[in-house]
């Protein structure tokens, strides 16, 4: 299969072959994993290439036609309707059978039993935990007749126990003769459940074969490729005797019900970019919110000298989606005197300010009256980052800034981060993207299960990255 989006060649001549059992598809962000399985699920069409089942060519034009052939996708973000129960979700996919509710219930219950957990069929999905939602969606897909299950990074939102639970279920499916295709970027997970693996790298297959026949080093190399010479030679080295602008010392913190962080110590100096690399579930969000001052530390200290800008992972949370985007553009400056007169916001001044900001940070379309929610992901991010970093903060906490963005927008955002650091801001970059850390950071810390398990200079990191892809925490959580 080949598939191109504009200037991005997402897949180029990719051959995939899935037999019975659990088959892992591995690859870094942007490698083409989701694109490949969307095609198999009937959600996208390849530019060239064919899909065969048991040797016969098939056409998978829609999700329903793929499901009709027994192929079901559990997408990365889930696809259930939150207001409906699982049963109602199933009914909504089969309108003609709406009357036979009892039959549907039985179908779902037996599928739930095959998933091996008690699944709540009568609570709106939105009120279930994430693991429950995911298992529910798995049961639903099986109830719809899927014999080939495609799971797009299902474990990125789960904790260690939930991951183990899912693995047990996937193995059971495999024993039942179901083909399981599991997308992941964790090598430990491949070892734990997969019989076979295929590694995608920049839209092509870089390795495929039986898991028993390969070592982790080979898989890791296939994922990240041969590394180029070290990163930004143009940046002046940071004087490590400068007073840090951000200090976290022995910090313990938790954000909502998400993975907490334990005993984190980080110092970021003016002009310095420190990256914290860790996959979802390792405490990234807790660290980001604690560093940004949104959640107080449970233990340890946080010190900052000056203002702090925060660019959250959920960039939509930083916008006012239904209002004209000029209001989102001035959000951190609403107390500026120039925007108010006699306590009333001056829309004309806001409008002019927003117009300049949109042009300067290349937000398209540069129309301050458009609702912020109408911007594409890349443009929304340019707006949020532009508005935050334009205030010349002493510290910027930037979480997953280019996740899900196309190459052009990614480059723009990375340049903006480099410019911000060069202008004197201390940048704490929290990301799951090794490539990003290599491109931007002066120092890299590796976060696993809430602890820092390694600290590297940019040069050391290049050498260490192959091992890091599957690093595990050591006992004392050393920094």
The sheet carrying 261-268 orders its strands as 261-268, 246-253, 299-304
HSE of 48, CA atoms in CB hemisphere, 13 A: 5
Measured from the CB of residue 222, what is the shortest distance to Mg ion in angstroms? 17
Q: How far apart are CA 107 and CA 235, in angstroms?
A: 61
- Select 123 or 314, whichever has its Cβ closest to ligand ADP: 314
Q: Examine residue 218 and tell whether it contacts ligand ADP (CB under 6 A).
A: no
Site string for ligand ADP, 387-426 (x = CB under 6 A): -------------------xx-------------------
> Where do the H-state alpha helices sit in 3-62?
33-40
* The binder of ligand ADP chosen from 1, 10, 248, 311 (CB under 6 A): 10
Q: How far apart are CA 333 and CA 340, in angstroms?
A: 11
- Select 154 or 244, whichever has its Cβ closest to Mg ion: 154
- Select 298 or 406, whichever has its Cβ closest to ligand ADP: 406
Q: Examine residue 347 and tell whether it contacts ligand ADP (CB under 6 A).
A: no
Measured from the CB of residue 279, what is the shortest distance to ligand ADP in angstroms? 13
The helix (H) or strand (E) run that includes residue 88 is helix 86-93
Please choose, out of 24-32, 240-248, 389-397, 462-470, the segment that lies near ligand ADP by the rule CB under 6 A.
24-32
Measured from the CB of residue 109, what is the shortest distance to Mg ion in angstroms? 32
Q: How many residues bind ligand ADP (CB under 6 A)?
A: 13
Distances (CA, A) of 376 to 148, 316, 321, 355, 380: 33, 11, 12, 18, 6
> Where do the H-state alpha helices sit in 176-246?
187-193, 216-224
Report the partner that residue 81 touches, choosing among Mg ion, ligand ADP, none (CB closer than 5 to 8 A by kind). Answer: none
* The binder of Mg ion chosen from 34, 198, 208, 425 (CB under 5 A): 34
Q: What is the DSSP string of 412-476?
A: HHHHHHHHHHHTT-EEEEEES-HHHHHHH-SEEEEEETTEEEEEEEHHHHHHHHHHHTT----TT
Q: Examine residue 402 and tell whether it contacts Mg ion (CB under 5 A).
A: no
Measured from the CB of residue 35, what is the shortest distance to ligand ADP in angstroms? 3
Q: How far apart are CA 275 and CA 291, in angstroms?
A: 13
Site string for Mg ion, 277-316 (x = CB under 5 A): ----------------------------------------
Q: Examine residue 186 and tell whether it contacts ligand ADP (CB under 6 A).
A: no
- Select 44 or 298, whichever has its Cβ closest to Mg ion: 44
Distances (CA, A) of 327 to 374, 397, 461: 14, 22, 41
Q: Examine residue 8 and tell whether it contacts ligand ADP (CB under 6 A).
A: yes
Under 8 Å between Cβ of 319 and 384: yes
Measured from the CB of residue 382, what is the shortest distance to ligand ADP in angstroms? 16
Strand ranges inside 105-245, DSSP E = 148-152, 179-184, 196-201, 204-210
Q: Examine residue 98 and tell whether it contacts ligand ADP (CB under 6 A).
A: no
Residues in the chain: 479
Please choose, out of 34-42, 137-145, 200-208, 352-360, the segment that lies near Mg ion by the rule CB under 5 A.
34-42
Q: How far apart are the first and last CA of the chain?
A: 44
Q: Residue 70: helix, strand or coil by DSSP? A: coil
Residues 29-48 that bind ligand ADP (CB under 6 A): 29-35
Q: How far apart are CA 258 and CA 156, in angstroms?
A: 12
Q: Examine residue 5 and tell whether it contacts ligand ADP (CB under 6 A).
A: yes
Measured from the CB of residue 32, what is the shortest distance to Mg ion in angstroms? 8
- Select 27 or 401, whichever has its Cβ closest to ligand ADP: 27
From the centroid of its chain, how far is CA 284? 11
Residues that bind ligand ADP (CB under 6 A): 5, 8, 10, 27, 29-35, 406-407
Residues that bind Mg ion (CB under 5 A): 34
């Amino acid at each position: 299969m080949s598939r191109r989006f504009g200037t991005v060649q997402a897949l180029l001549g990719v051959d995939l072959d899935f037999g019975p059992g659990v088959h892992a598809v591995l690859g870094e962000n942007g490698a083409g994993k989701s694109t490949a399985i969307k095609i198999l699920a009937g959600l996208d069409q390849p530019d060239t290439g064919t899909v065969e089942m048991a040797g016969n060519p098939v056409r998978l034009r829609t999700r329903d036609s793929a499901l009709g052939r027994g192929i079901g996708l559990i997408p990365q973000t889930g696809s259930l309707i939150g207001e409906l129960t699982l049963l109602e979700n199933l009914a909504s996919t089969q309108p003609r059978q709406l009357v036979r509710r009892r039959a549907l219930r039985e179908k779902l219950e037996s599928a739930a039993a095959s998933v091996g957990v008690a699944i709540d069929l009568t609570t709106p999905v939105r009120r279930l935990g994430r693991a429950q939602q995911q298992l529910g969606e798995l049961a639903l897909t099986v109830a719809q007749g899927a014999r080939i299950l495609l799971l797009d990074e299902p474990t990125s939102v789960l904790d260690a126990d939930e991951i183990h639970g899912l693995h047990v279920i996937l193995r059971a499916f495999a024993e039942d003769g179901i083909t399981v295709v599991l997308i992941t970027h964790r090598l430990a997970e491949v070892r734990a459940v997969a019989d076979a693996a295929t590694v995608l790298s920049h839209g092509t297959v870089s390795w495929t074969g039986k898991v028993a026949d390969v070592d982790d080093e080979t898989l890791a190399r296939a994922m990240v490729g041969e590394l180029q010479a070290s990163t930004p030679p143009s940046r002046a080295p940071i004087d490590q005797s400068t007073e840090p602008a951000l200090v976290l010392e022995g910090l313990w913190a938790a954000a909502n019900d998400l993975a907490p962080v334990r005993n984190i110590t980080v110092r970021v100096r003016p002009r310095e970019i420190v990256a914290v690399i860790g996959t979802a579930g390792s405490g990234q969000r807790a660290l980001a919110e604690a560093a940004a001052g949104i959640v107080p530390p449970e233990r340890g200290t946080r010190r900052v000298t000056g203002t702090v800008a925060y660019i959250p992972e959920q960039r939509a949370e930083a916008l006012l989606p239904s209002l004209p985007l000029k209001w989102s553009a001035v959000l951190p400056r609403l107390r500026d005197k120039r925007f108010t007169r006699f306590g009333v916001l001056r829309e004309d001044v806001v409008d002019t300010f927003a117009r300049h900001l949109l042009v300067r940070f290349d937000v398209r379309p540069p129309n301050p009256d458009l609702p912020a929610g109408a911007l594409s992901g890349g443009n929304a991010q340019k707006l949020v980052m532009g508005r935050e970093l334009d205030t010349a903060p002493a510290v910027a906490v930037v979480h997953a800034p280019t996740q899900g963005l196309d190459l052009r927008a990614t480059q723009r955002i990375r340049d903006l981060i480099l410019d911000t650091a060069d202008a004197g801001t201390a940048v704490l970059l929290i990301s799951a993207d090794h490539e990003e850390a290599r491109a931007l950071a002066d120092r890299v810390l590796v976060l696993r299960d809430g602890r820092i398990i390694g600290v590297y200079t940019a040069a050391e990191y290049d050498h260490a990255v192959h091992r890091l892809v599957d690093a595990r925490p050591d006992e004392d959580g050393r920094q």
